[in-house]
Chains A and B, each alone.
Chain A
Amino acid sequence: MMWRVLSSIFGVLALPAAAATLSVQVLDNQGVPLPQAVVYATPLDTPRPDTPAAPAVMDQIDKQFVPHILVVQRGSEVAFPNSDSIKHHVYSFSPAKTFELRLYSGTDAAPVAFDQHGTVEMGCNIHDWMLGYVKVVDTPYFAKADRQGSVTLDIPAGRYQVNLWHPRIQDNEETLVRTLDVTDSSQWTHTLSEDLLRDLSGYEKTTETFNDY
Chain B
Amino acid sequence: MSFKENQEYQTVGNAFSDDPMITCRNVDVFYADKQAIFDVSLDIAKNEVLAMIGPSGCGKSTFLRCLNRMNDTIDICRVSGEITLHNENIHSRETDVVYLRARVGMVFQKPNPFPKSVYENVAYGPRLHGLAETKSDLNEIVESSLRRAGLWKEVKDRLEQAGTGLSGGQQQRLCIARAIAIQPEVILMDEPCSALDPIATSVIEELIDELKQQYSICIVTHSMQQAARVSQRTAYFHLGKLIEIGLTDDIFTHPVHELTEGYITGRFG
Instruction: Judge: A and B partners, yes or no.
Output: no
Q: Which residues of A contact B (CB under 8 A)?
A: none
> Which residues of B line the A interface, CB within 8 A?
none
